[in-house]
Structure 1
């Protein structure tokens, strides 16, 4: 049985990709939230209570 040993450069590269992917996902969610607020923002003021 062989054990896969990753070197330090590969671990840093994967960590960097994971951070970039996470930040991209957060930015996308924030973008969708802001677009939703902008599209609904005008209609909220005209809503009957």
Structure 2
């Protein structure tokens, strides 16, 4: 029975590590998309945005 407990604990630790890596990867991809959309928006508006009257 002790073997079963240690194996399940090891699986939980491994699953936790995989979940953390997957969460970090998803966060990086979402961050990259935010930056990409921001850059595309600024480029699409062009240089006229800076020179507009207030």
In structure 1, the gaps of 5 or more residues are: 1-5
4+ residue runs over 3 A deviation = none
Which structure has the larger Rg? 2
TM-score normalised to the size of structure 1? 0.73
Larger proportion of helix: 2
In structure 2, the gaps of 5 or more residues are: 48-54
TM-score normalised to the size of structure 2? 0.67
How many residues of Structure 1 are paired with residues of Structure 2 in the alignment?
A: 42
